[in-house]
Structure 1
Amino acid sequence: MVLIEARDLLAFPTGNNATDTEIFGVHFNLTTLKYWNYTLYSNNTLSNGSWCFLMDPPYTPTVVLANGTYLNSTWCYLATQPIGNRARIGIGFAVVYALCLILALVNLTKHGKLHLPVEKRFYPIGRRWQWYWSIFVCTAALIGLFTNVDVDRYRVAEIPIVLNNFFWYLLQMGTMALVWEAVRHWGSWMERQFIDPNPFVLQDKDRRGMFELLIPLVFYAWLWLNFFLIVPRNWGAIELQRSPDQTIAKAIPAATDGRFKAAPFFLFACWCTCIVSLWHSIRHYEPRNRGWFNRVIGFLGYMPFRFVLMLPLSLALVAYQALAAWEWHLSPLNVHTNLLAMYLGGYAPSLLILIIQVISGFLRPNEDRALMRQRRERGHALDQELGIVKKPAWWRRANGDVESGNMRDRIMRNVREVGGGRATAVQVDRMAERRAAEMETANANDANPSSFEMGGIQRTNSVASSVRNAPAPPPYTPSSYGGKSDRRRNEHTMQMVAGLLFPPTNAESAETAAAPAPNQERGRGLAPPDTQAQRPNTSERSNSTASGMSTNGPPQQVRSMLDI
């Protein structure tokens, strides 16, 4: 049974004569009012279905003309009334929602920040969606609650009542999406911790992975059906609450039609999807219990405490939406609804869910930081199993083993440890001094010293170099160098090959035998220059095959690539 406050039509008061009426001390032509089909209502408005004017002081018109024009009139659809209890309570709720909006933004910054590289299976937006929906819920609540001010201030129902309920329904959808994203992301976070020690312990395309891929689509399909049944409609019928007859004929049938009654069932399906997702996460990422009773106890025990509070509150939200679709006097669509039922069932559950979500966000750490802490704990456990004991950080500082953060200081410290100075100047100077001493020794022992460093290298002809009277090359013997330097090994190999291609003379062979072994030289692989033979003059050089210069002069002896 629908309860409606009686608002009967009023008869025009009597005036000075039969064609005159007196309304709040102002005389009007009754014939003109009846001609234009004006009716006086108990809310002190005068309307003919197209035009509406306020008749109580100080908004009473002064006169009405014969063509139906009112002078000094006030339109009915203006905010002329003082705010009522609906607006006062709504402003209080709006202040709390505004605080939740600020705290949700803080939590979005905290939990949305990345401290580890992005993984393909766990995108950063997945953990941010619950805070995006929190911001959406706060925004919708603020818009809807502040429109309650105009709902009270409008004497005749108009667009504010529509805006208030439009954003209230969006608030309910966003709250359910917030609960879903919190539940879904908790399961994703449990999976991330489960596979972090071993990324290959679970497959991506097994039954579990496909279930987690498809269940979000199922949830948002139910939510979209709830949105489709409520939002796309003719909201103008909700405004028709300007008289009791109009409310019964127009507003109540529109507010309790089949679409409003079917929408809560799809919202309940969304709630059931959250329960199934929570059960799936506990079943796969928490220890399993045997027996139905133990499984129920384990389900409640493994469930985070915030879900123990959020899920019943979200179910109460669904229940009130269904109640509003059947009971007009409890519906927020009613301008004169029961305020206790509207705020307690329509706004309080959503606000409490937001508060719980914000508090849990401050208590929980950033997931990347939590994962880094778990990795450190696993590393310490492995070190203890292997018997590795790491010294604390203060140990190095106490012993002076503190590395500077400046790379230039580290390089300079390494340079000082190896001798300082320029990188190659020390070795170059040592090599020059050693070669100068070897040159002086060779000149002192030779009667015709050579002042040219590469005097031992002569230009020969390939035919002349293969003379028959030349002694046979010495047999090949492996290099006596046994070090690890590949460059030194290559130099010894090239010396052996040069000895085979260019056989030395008897005198040079004796000189080479008397010289120290190449592996005894430590000057970057440089052997002493050959000062035994003299460099021939330019006139004695010839490229002719008949020349005997190659038989008289020593052959070319290549000891190192640096001698060429």
Structure 2
Amino acid sequence: MSVLNLRDVLPFPGGANSSDVLLNGQHLNLTTLEYWNYTLFSNGTLSNNSWCFMTELPFTPGSVLENGTFINATSCYTPMKAIGTRSAIGVGYAVAFGICLVLVLINLARHGKLYLPVEKRFYPIGRRWQWYWGCFVCATAIIGLFFGIDVDRYYIQDIPIVINVFFWFLMQMGTTALVWEAVRHWGSWMERQFIDPNPFVLHDTDRRWMFEFWVPLFFYFWLWMNFFMVIPRNWEPIIRQRSPQQTIEQAEPTATDGRFKAAAFILLICWFTIIVSIWHSIRHYEPRNRGWFNRTIGFLGYMPVRFALEIPLLLALVAYQILCSFRFRLSPLNAEDTNYVAMYLGGYTPSLLILIIQIIDGFVRPNEDRELIHQRRMRGEEINRQLGIAKKPAWWRRVNGQLPPDNMADQVLRNVREVGGGRPTARQVEALAEQRAAQVQEGQTGPGRSGATIEMNELRRANSAASSMRARGAPPPPYTPYTGKSAQRKEERIVQAAAGMLFPNSATPPAGEDRGRSSEGETAETQQRLDASERSRSTGSTVSGLSTTSPPQQVRSMLDI
């Protein structure tokens, strides 16, 4: 749509008759043009506020039908012009930002990789935010610069100029956030190195911690205020640059209104917040100096070199945005007659240089987890040096026969070779069985010897009379319960309880008042078992006598064995 001042309107040139118009050798019906409210403008367009067509050669319409349809007409919003200075320089900057995007992604993978467990106090995303904002800056710059090509090629300005400046403002915001995240994370990294030797040297509830908690919220509040001042607004007046008169009356007042001025000064607040954050980190995590002069020298000395370069560049970017809000002649919002040197030198060069500085510093600095591991190793070596502990070289163990531990497969294989495995183990078992059988035949077996059957010994006290009888080779006497109330009785109850859990199917003496009233049948059964056990021992049999007179023992778990 082409809306111009009335002074830009031209009368229709005469034709063959009163209802004919002659435009660059083409005859058009004047009655139809007037019926559809078409107007001829001084910029060579024919428009009715809904449709706009070119009238200059070779784009002059061939004819117009009674329904208002033009034959062989060209729309005003067609990229028909050649690439100009704005587009040529913009393509070069877009290529540079594209290369930076690839390098930023490499640094993101390099510094975002973890080599230590994640700590609650230092999240991995904290070190990655500066690279995320770097990707954002590159993407917005590339989109805006490529849309700047259509700003030059469009005969009548339309949506490309809006998209171009829209992403330019987003790039300014992203660059500011990039520098902020770099400064904030540098302070976090200084804190991490400061507390790594002693995690309790700093508190989490003091003024320092409260400042570090609230200052990011303060910064992003003003950054989002800059966004809301610039982005959500009516961009239609910026498009009104289809003639010099229209640019002066509509585009320039909108591009220099109060909202653009306020947004530029809000970025200045963000810049001061970055300076305060650097001062806070140097004050708490670097050695303090006395006197204002020494503190100023220390502030500049402790500040990293990249910040000494990036902060002035960011200030230049903010200053250029403030200047654009007062001088439309220098602003990128001016589509036809802007100063391209000021536009690219002040609008895009600071962001590009800040990205380049960040990328170079990212390739120079090591991964923070690896650096922390190196610092811990150095501290350990220093402590060993102070204690007089000398670490032996790697060849020392090999020379002294102290080989390094093998993997699990080698260790298992070595153990199997020591104890035997497979068929050799079976041969050893068979040899052991034949040896024991030979000893039994020769009468060398007996209670307590190596060829005896492996049985579970009876639960007994070491100082009892039964132990002395067992030492002489006699069978143990039948169990006689003790009815007294003394420490010996207490020990017997404990032994009985343990025996009941280990041998649930074995016969236990009656509890309570019936403990001393065992029946004669139980006494005879117990005596029968003892006789059978004695016979098995005298004959050298390897089978227990208890298994013939009592039910087999049921093993429920490894505790029963």
Band of TM-score, shorter chain = 0.7 to 0.9
SS at the partner of 1:197? coil
The answer to whether the 8 A contact 2:226-2:267 is kept is yes
Cα distance in structure 2, aligned partners of 1:179 and 1:15:
65
Letter matched to residue 504 of structure 1: M
- Distance (Å, rounded) in 2 between the aligned partners of 1:548 and 1:253: 117
CA shift, 1:193, in A, is: 0.7
Q: 1:424 to 1:290 in 2, by over 3 A?
A: farther
> SS where residue 27 of structure 2 aligns?
strand
Is the CA contact 2:54–2:75 (under 8 Å) kept in the aligned structure 1?
yes
Equivalences for 1:120-519 in 2 at 5 Å?
120-336=120-336, 337-396=338-397, 401-403=402-404, 405-414=406-415, 416=417, 420=420, 496-497=461-462, 499-500=464-465, 504=469, 508=473
- Give the distance between the partners of 1:220 and 1:435, measured in 2 at CA: 87
Report how far residue 428 of structure 1 moved. 7.6
- State whether residues 306 and 356 of structure 1, in contact with CA within 8 Å, keep that contact through their aligned partners in structure 2: yes
Shift of 1:45: 1.5
Q: Distance in 1 between matches of 2:388 and 2:240?
A: 81
Once the two structures are superposed, what CA deviation does each residue of 1:223-266 show, in whole Å capped at 9, x if it has no partner?
A: 11111111111112211112233223322222122111101121
Aligned partners of 1:504 and 1:555 also within 8 Å: no
Distance 1:241 1:315, change over 3 A: same
Q: Tell me what 1:73 maps to.
A: 73
Report if aligned partners of 1:9, 1:40 keep a CA contact under 8 Å in 2. Answer: yes
Q: Contact conserved, 1:54 with 1:76, CA < 8 A, in 2?
A: yes
Structure 1 residue 172: Cα displacement:
0.6
Q: Larger deviation: 377-386 or 20-29?
A: 20-29
* 1:467-509 Cα distance to aligned partner (Å, 9 max, x none): xxxxxxxxxxxxxxxxxxxxxxx98x95544843577399757
Post-superposition Cα deviations, 1:335-392, rounded to whole Å, max 9, x if no partner, equal 1221111111111111111111111111111111111111111111111111111122
Amino acid across the alignment from 1:323: L
Counterpart Cα distance in 2 of 1:131 and 1:445:
83
In structure 2, relative to structure 1, the CA distance for the partners of 1:20 and 1:306 (3 Å cut) is same
Whether contact under 8 Å (2:129, 2:181) holds in the other structure is: yes
- Judge conservation of contact 2:60–2:73 (CA < 8 Å) in 1: yes
How far 1:208 sits from its partner (Å)?
1.0
| Alpha carbons of structure 1 residues 114 and 505: separation in structure 2 relative to 1, 3 Å | closer
Is the 2:445–2:452 Cα contact (8 Å) retained in structure 1? no
Look up the match of 1:559: none
Give the gaps of 5 or more residues in structure 2: 1-6, 476-519, 535-542, 547-561
Gaps of at least 5 residues in structure 1 are 1-6, 447-451, 458-489, 511-541, 557-561
Offset of 1:273 from its aligned partner? Answer: 1.1
Q: In structure 1, the residue corresponding to 2:325 is in which secondary structure?
A: helix
Would the aligned equivalents of 1:279 and 1:299 in 2 still touch at CA under 8 Å?
Answer: yes
CA distance in 2: counterparts of 1:186 and 1:544, whole angstroms: 87
2:53 paired with 1:84 = no
Letter in 1 for 2:178: L
**Alpha-carbon distance, 1:110 to partner:** 0.6
Q: Is the 8 A contact 1:127 1:185 kept in 2?
A: yes
Query: Does the 8 Å CA contact 2:446/2:452 hold for their aligned counterparts?
Result: no
Query: Aligned-pair distance for 1:26?
Result: 2.0
Query: How far has the Cα of 1:65 moved from its partner?
Result: 3.9
Q: Report how far residue 292 of structure 1 moved.
A: 0.6
8 Å contact 1:8–1:244 — kept in the other structure? no
Deviation at 1:67, TM superposition (A): 5.0
1:176–1:314 Cα contact (<8 Å) kept: yes
Q: Match of 2:53, SS?
A: strand
CA displacement at 1:68 relative to structure 2 = 4.0
Deviates more, 1:433-442 or 1:366-375: 433-442
* Cα deviation digits, residues 501-536 of structure 1 (max 9, x gap): 5773997579xxxxxxxxxxxxxxxxxxxxxxxxxx
Q: CA-to-partner distance for each residue in 1:149-195, whole Å, 9 max, x for gaps?
A: 11111110101111111111111111111111000001111111111
Q: Offset of 1:105 from its aligned partner?
A: 0.7
Note the C-alpha offset of 1:59: 1.0
Structure 1 residues 56, 374: CA separation in 2 closer, same or farther (over 3 Å shift)?
same
Q: Tell me the distance in 1 between the aligned counterparts of 2:28 and 2:532.
A: 143
The answer to whether the 8 Å contact 1:81/1:153 transfers is: yes
Shift of 1:49: 2.7
Cα 1:553–1:316, aligned 2, differ >3 Å: closer, same or farther? same
- 1:401 Cα deviation after fit: 4.7
Question: Once structures 1 and 2 are overlaid, which stretch shifts more, 45-54 or 13-22?
Answer: 13-22
SS at match of 2:469: coil
Q: Return the alpha-carbon distance in structure 1 between the equivalents of residues 301 and 366 of structure 2.
A: 21
Asked if structure 1 preserves the Cα contact closer than 8 Å seen for 2:461 and 2:467, the reply is no
Question: Cα–Cα, structure 1 residues 443 and 61, in superposed 2: closer, same or farther, change >3 Å?
Answer: closer
Q: Name whichever of 164-173 and 48-57 sits farther off.
A: 48-57
Structure 2: distance between partners of 1:149 and 1:505 = 108
Deviation at 1:395, TM superposition (A): 3.8
Change (3 A) 1:496 1:426: farther
Q: What letter is aligned with 2:335? A: V
Shift of 1:40: 3.1
One-letter amino acid of the counterpart of residue 200, structure 2 = F
Q: C-alpha root-mean-square deviation of aligned residues, in Å?
A: 3.8
Match of 2:60 in 1: 60
Using structure 1 for the length normalisation, give the TM-score: 0.76
